[in-house]
Amino acid sequence: MMFAAIFLLFAGEQTVSAQDLANYPAAFVDIGFGARPLGMAGAYTAIANDVQSVLWNPAGLAGVPFVQGTFSTTRQFGLIPYQMAAAAFRFGVNWVHSEGIILSGDDAMREFTFLMGAAYEKRWPNGNYLRGGTVVSYRNASFGKNAPRGSGAVTGSVSGFAVDFGIQYSPAEHYILAAVLKNAVNYLQWNTSTIGKYSEGTPMQLVFGLGAVNILNFNFDLDIEKTLYKDIPDKFAFGVERPLFKYFYLRGGFSRGLVPSDLSSTAFGGGLHHAFPRGFRLTLDFAYILQDLNNNFRLSVTFDLK
């Protein structure tokens, strides 16, 4: 409970004091990974319970049963290549550790992110639980390496870190309350061939989630992203998931900004999984996202060892 109290106090302080503009950096854009959460339009804060939680809500890592791994690849706007891989390992009764990498871009702008996370679960005899998790990310990028020598093009590099915190609390069977604060602590140091060294931060994201699982065989998640900056509107996302037969999942969702001019998206997806001998299970998830800027198809592969 102490973890939850500290998280809520910190998040509340950031919400009250935030008056600045977001100041998005020119690197490390969060495009979202994992076809399961993306198939629900990113509404995943509350029901996150697998290795993909390392990117959505680190508290959800505590739901990993033993060992899980995942891989995803895409081209943002059909141009920029992205690859993500992550693995999670349970150790002891209550702890789960996770590591992951994100690679993107080319010589014009190449990015690398290494993630390391941990989650803890306290479960009571009646089935209620509290989960807390954190993820530390190391970020590094270089740009301008595609330019010919002596061309006068801007070149340079950037490195830094970020820390995310997340909680999930199940007060009763089927229901989950959650919150995640992304980039709670962060720093980027740039070094360019034109203006030299300077530093900046990455905008924080505060998301609250309400989930319901196994309600008439459906899972639901409603996320509210509470803005911390004057130039970013509040947003919400709603997603639903339903298993069909024994091997298939159907998913759908939508997200909207709470002002008419903000971007919106609608998503559809599904998943196929098959259990092999000796506790090995393979899952293939897919999602199609209809967006104002560019529609996108996502595919991810996840394996379980029990």
**What's the confidence (pLDDT) of residue 59?**
98
Residues 39, 270 contacting (CB under 8 angstroms): yes
**What's the confidence (pLDDT) of residue 2?**
42
Query: What is the third-level CATH fold of 2-305?
Result: Porin (2.40.160)
**Interatomic CA distance for residues 118 and 62, integer angstroms:** 8
**Interatomic CA distance for residues 78 and 90, integer angstroms:** 36
Is 62 exposed, middle or buried, given 0-12, 13-18 or 19+ CB atoms closer than 10 A?
buried
Mean pLDDT score across all residues of the chain: 88
DSSP secondary structure code for residue 147 in this structure? S
The region of weakest confidence among 64-73, 83-92, 199-208 is 199-208
The region of weakest confidence among 74-78, 170-174, 275-279, 299-303 is 74-78
**What's the confidence (pLDDT) of residue 22?**
56
**Does 9 score more than 50 pLDDT?**
no
**What's the confidence (pLDDT) of residue 6?**
42
**What's the confidence (pLDDT) of residue 294?**
81
**Interatomic CA distance for residues 178 and 164, integer angstroms:** 14
**What's the confidence (pLDDT) of residue 5?**
47
Q: How far is CA 116 from CA 101, 160, 193, 241, 249, in A?
A: 9, 14, 31, 28, 29
**What's the confidence (pLDDT) of residue 200?**
85
Task: Name the range with the highest mean pLDDT among 77-91, 141-155, 204-218.
Answer: 204-218
Q: What percent of the chain has pLDDT over 90?
A: 63
**Does 186 score more than 50 pLDDT?**
yes
**Does 198 score more than 60 pLDDT?**
yes
Backbone angles phi, psi at 138, to 5 degrees: -100, 130
**What's the confidence (pLDDT) of residue 144?**
75
**Interatomic CA distance for residues 60 and 240, integer angstroms:** 17
